[in-house]
Chain A
């Protein structure tokens, strides 16, 4: 199975900050990488697919980059509603493994 490792966790930041969350795959997954946001008690929400494609309706302050084994989710200017847990997921092969999550906390 492909292992997905996220860092850092947790991540403390303030409103207006630019933050980056990283995700590393245990083998080359090209750009088969998705990012999700999850708030407590809610289902995850898709933010980015294919490493850098923004899902419809997601604010443009979210962006994704990377290929191969190293990926980054960047939030350009944190808003209060962005404090949540973020997960990466590879869709290169099954099982479609998730990273362990990065909890983004208010500093």
Chain B
């Protein structure tokens, strides 16, 4: 059974950086990509990007290019998402998702519990 456990609540000031961790278990870590999705208060889901756990290649949404970095640590089966130069509109719940696939069809079937990040002066 796949488990995805994220780090805890963060409160940051504008301009700071935050790193959210995502520890996985229950599958071969390098066989599945990891996406990050965020959800602002009362809003919908926003895909931020993904990282290939097999080779570390990343694909970021243009909105976050230059401010986000996604990395993985294979020995600990953990993924990380760093968001820099935080603004108040980065206040959101951040989800780590272990992607699934059936042939060419990618889907998000194993989600972390979410990490609340609040940006406030």
Q: Give the interface of A toward B (CB within 8 A).
A: 1, 31-32, 34, 36, 38, 43-46, 49-50, 53, 55, 87, 89, 91, 94-101
Contacts and interface: CB of A to CB of B under 8 A. Distances in A.
B6 to A, nearest CB: 10
Given A38-B45, A44-B95, 14 more contacts: A32-B106, A34-B108, A36-B45, A43-B95, A43-B114, A46-B100, A49-B109, A50-B107, A55-B109, A89-B47, A96-B50, A98-B37, A98-B46, A99-B44
Given A43-B114, A87-B45, A50 B105 contact: yes
Given A94-B59, A95-B61, A97-B47, A44 B111 contact: yes
Q: What interface size band does chain B fall in? A: 20 to 34
16 contacts: A32-B104, A36-B45, A43-B95, A43-B111, A44-B95, A44-B111, A45-B111, A49-B102, A49-B109, A50-B107, A53-B102, A91-B105, A91-B106, A96-B50, A96-B106, A98-B37
B76 interface: no
A103 B100 CA distance: 25
B44 A43 contact: no
B108 A36 contact: yes
B44 A96 contact: no
A31 B107 CA distance: 12
A44 B107 contact: no
Most chain A CB atoms below 10 A, which of B35, B37, B44, B59: B44
Chain A facing B: main interface SS: loop
Contact of B108 (A31, A46, A94, A101): A46
B23 to A, nearest CB: 15
A95 B47 contact: yes
Contacts of B37: 98
Nearest to A49: B107
Given A43-B112, A44-B108, A98 B95 contact: no
B113 A98 contact: no
Contact of A95 (B62, B95, B100, B112): B62
Given A49-B102, A96-B35, A101 B44 contact: yes
